[in-house]
Amino acid sequence: MILAGDVGGTKTLLALYEDGASPRGPRLEARRASLEAPSLEALALDFVKASGGARLTRAVFGVAGPVVNNRCETTNLPWVVSGDAVSAALGGAEVMLMNDLEAAGRGIATLGADDLEFLQRGERALGNRVLIAAGTGLGESILVWARERHRPVASEGGHADWAPNDALEDELLAWLRARYGHVSAERVLSGHGLADLYRFLSAAGRGAEPEGMAERFAAASDPAAFVTEAALDGSCERAWIALRKWVEVYGAEAGNLALTGLALGGVFVGGGIAPRIPTVLRDGRFVRAFNAKGRLESLLERMPVALLLDARIGLWGAATVALEAPSRAEL
Residue ranges of the chain that CATH labels 3.40.367.20: 112-309
204-241 pLDDT, tens per residue? 999 999 999 999 999 999 999 999 999 999 999 999 99
pTM: 0.93
Sequence-separated contacts (24+) of 119-122 with Cβ below 8 Å: 119/269, 119/281, 119/282, 119/286, 119/287, 119/305, 119/306, 119/307, 120/287, 120/290, 120/291, 120/301, 120/303, 120/304, 120/305, 121/304, 122/266, 122/301, 122/302, 122/303, 122/304, 122/305
Domain 2-106+312-330 has CATH 3.30.420.40: yes
Q: What is the pLDDT of residue 120?
A: 98
Q: What is the pLDDT of residue 326?
A: 61
DSSP 132: E
CATH class of 112-309: alpha beta
93-127 pLDDT, tens per residue? 999 999 999 999 999 999 999 999 999 999 989 99
Residue ranges of the chain that CATH labels 3.30.420.40: 2-106+312-330
Cα 41–chain centre separation: 22
Provide the 3-class DSSP secondary structure of residue 71: strand
Under the banding of pLDDT at 50, 70 and 90, the label for residue 75 is: confident
Q: How far apart are CA 110 and CA 94, in angstroms?
A: 24
Q: What is the pLDDT of residue 199?
A: 98
**Greatest pairwise CA separation for the chain in angstroms:** 60
